[in-house]
Structure 1
């Protein structure tokens, strides 16, 4: 039997095994998120354990290592072998060792799915807290809502720290310095290059962000009746200041009142020749008790069963989230069905985040609001809308940099005073004055630290890629984004190949060059 035949037999067997184990993981996760029932969390834990056990087979790992050395492997085989290696190299521990990690993750996931903050003695939803932060002019009410949003952090802090230590211990047993370094390596991300990009963005955005932040604080000072010196985290519209408040005098939420957001998102994608109606029909779109209060998109079987979970109301926040998640969904839908199961996925989460952000930005575009919200007489607001987009990009970029610096240092030294570190970074990067009590684990209330570790950098890399794609499209495909040619370009040059190409090769194929932060910098700084 030739080496090519042997490799193909091995890959076919791995694709079959992985596909059989994959769907139960995603379905049980979906059910846990949509019902809050502990039974589904248990099923998810079991399915996840079985899925990862497949990648801990030492015989398969040895075979993958050997086949990767074969100089005759073709690109299709190479990408599958690379993907398998990156999964196997971090799953070589005995399942009995990793079971404790999954137990901790499951406990935290259940808390996030079911916990409801207490405000003035009664349970409130995440949307109610966000509404207070968006609309209230009472500083004490805002402070109460902000503190309520952080309650879950205290509840899960010890479990999160146990999880961080456990992840580090497992990574060190596999020969890595820590979990953070292992995660980046197996995601084909170079830690030095990544933080070189972040450091460059921070330095270049320091002064533009300082001006924007001063302007925001001046507006808040007038609106809320507090001096700029007394502005604290609860005076912003988002608990982590990852969302920028509207430009003074502009209330974009009013444009969403009595609007059919489902039809708006369908029409947006249809204008580009992208059909997402089937996905919308099997999605879970509105808030209710015991449902995960956040949002995500899941590709449950890589064969067309794609679902979106959001909790929409009539606001720009949830309109943005809806477009963002259906950006993920469109990417998944148009991956070539003929690819092997392993490659019938995004080449890297940063590439699907790029598409999600490309669509999420639509709510800050004048042409999108005129066409799909049917809002007239907006031309005089165009400068303010562009200003709002710049605000959002700067605020979000500084938030992501804060998150990533903290996460890196947390895994490098989890025994340090993390609460102190958190507020030092928030003050240094986001220019936010900390609250009186900095001993509270506010950071732990951000779900990504515990349940989506070492993924947040992909949001920033996704923003950079979204800018590069947008500028390439406007210069080479169509100045009007809402035409079928744009959808065709995305399908053929970004979606179709799935994981067949490395993430940077995919970007180069689509835009003619590797990821380059200058497009984002030129666009927003």
Structure 2
């Protein structure tokens, strides 16, 4: 998720540089040079990012067992983007321009810093390592999103698993469903360990201790400061969480007919396979949006979201969004399937928009 926010921030910041370089008599030579570089960089970045978005979207919406074509296309597109963002030429140009940061516009400074931050994840000085990391990321994505989840030896979707955890009272069925949702971890483990190594070694080439330190630096913090902030947040919310946790233990024990209230909440008792959403535990009488939304259809929900951001001054979605979007499950007899793992909402729709835009 953090990876997406970085790319989104990059696109937004760099998009701001799309203006003629010599439009203001107040601009000094340093600003003009910076603007020329930023405009050229942005043009190439947008083109390469668009190709990357298309490749990744295809890899998520058309999964053919045994076919590695999509993974190869993702690797090729992401390597092209990495070669550009991590090129020594771009790094040196940004560093040189920042030597005169006092003469640059604040926005230009931010844009150049984003360029260097992106470069640190794909430095040309370790091009072979970056290529290996991108290949490993593509392989993990294909493995995760193409995984065949099974409950009682029957293939199921993650929606099926979610529905069991939201509505089934039988604890054995719940445990089977929850366990099935975690089985993919066995297949992912070795690849994740390798990916951790590759990500650490990639950013270490530009002086970061590890990939965590690299990402934390985007917040202007050290790893120690970030960890202390998280500990403080936990300390702050602990009294409230303790009360909610106690309520949940007693409420769920009663709901499932358990005489003994456990000290820790069994994960399969919760209505969410990650234990992150407890809202289905509460049933508000008279409030059921399901039947209403079913009558509207998936297009209506997206249209309401579109109306909201258009009201903020953004342009309507292009027609290609509606033609290429993945709003529906694959047909039952389709020779392919779509991702079995839902993405965080903002990643899904923003990545979809990037891949579908004209």
For normalisation by structure 2, the TM-score amounts to: 0.77
Higher mean alpha-carbon deviation, 254-263 vs 139-148, is at 254-263
Shift of 1:267: 3.7
Give 1:79's aligned residue: 110
Please say if 1:235 is aligned against 2:282: no
1-side partners of 2:69 and 2:243: how far apart? Answer: 50
Give the drift of 1:103. Answer: 1.6
- Give the length in aligned residue pairs: 306
Return the alpha-carbon distance in structure 2 between the equivalents of residues 17 and 110 of structure 1: 27
Pairing 1:139–2:201 present: no
Q: 1:131 to 1:43 in 2, by over 3 A?
A: same
CA offset digits 1:324-357 (Å, max 9, x no partner): xxxxxxxxxxxxxxxxxxxxxxxxxxxxxxxxxx
Spell out, residue by residue over 1:426-473, the C-alpha distance to the aligned partner (whole angstroms, 9 max, x if none): xxxxxxxxxxxxxxxxxxxxxxxxxxxxxxxxxxxxxxxxxxxxxxxx
Select the structure of larger CA radius of gyration: 2
| Structural RMSD (CA) | 2.8
1:146·1:234 contact (CA, 8 Å) conserved in 2?
Answer: yes
Cα displacement (A) at 1:188: 4.4
Is the alpha carbon distance of 1:134 and 1:6 closer, same or farther for their aligned partners in structure 2, counting shifts above 3 Å?
same
Residue in structure 1 matched with residue 349 of structure 2 by the alignment: 297
Partner residue of 1:89? Answer: 120
**1:176 aligned residue:** 208
CA contact (8 A) 2:174 2:268 kept: yes
For the 8 Å contact 1:167–1:179, the answer to whether it is kept is yes
Instruction: Measure how far apart 1:269 and its partner are.
Output: 5.5
User: For residue 300 of structure 2, what is the aligned residue in structure 1?
Assistant: 263
Partner of residue 322, structure 2: 281
Q: Deviations 1:244-296 (Å, cap 9, x if unpaired)?
A: 14354437884212342542453466367257565762431233362113131
Match of 1:53 among 63, 78, 83: 83
1:65 paired residue number: 95
- SS at 1:246 equivalent: helix
Given the superposition, is the C-alpha separation of residues 175 and 16 from structure 1 closer, same or farther in structure 2, using an over 3 Å criterion? same
Q: Compared with structure 1, are the counterparts of its residues 269 and 215 closer, same or farther at alpha carbon in structure 2 (3 Å cutoff)?
A: farther
Unmatched runs of 5 consecutive residues or more in structure 1:
307-525
**Is contact 2:48-2:77 (8 Å) kept?**
yes
Structure 1 Cα separation of the partners of residues 274 and 29 of structure 2 = 57
In structure 2, C-alpha distance between the alignment counterparts of 1:262 and 1:210, rounded to whole Å: 41
- C-alpha distance in structure 2 between counterparts of 1:245 and 1:300, whole Å: 28
Spell out the pairing of 1:5-404 with structure 2 (5 A cutoff). Answer: 5-37=32-64, 38-70=68-100, 71-92=102-123, 93-186=125-218, 188-226=220-258, 227-229=260-262, 231-250=265-284, 254-257=288-291, 258-260=294-296, 261-267=298-304, 270=307, 273=311, 278=318, 281-282=322-323, 283-288=325-330, 290-293=337-340, 294-295=342-343, 296-299=348-351, 305=357
Q: In 1, distance between residues paired with 2:76 and 2:157?
A: 29
2:229 aligns to what SS in structure 1?
helix
Q: In structure 2, the residue corresponding to 1:284 is in which secondary structure? A: coil
2-side partners of 1:3 and 1:242: how far apart? 49
Q: Of the two structures, which has the highest relative contact order with CA contacts closer than 8 Å and spacing of 6 or more?
A: 2
CA distance in 2, matches of 1:11, 1:271: 31
Give the TM-score, by structure 1 length: 0.54
**Pairing of 1:443-482 with structure 2 (within 5 A):** none
Relative distance call for 1:171 and 1:140 in structure 2 (3 A) is: same
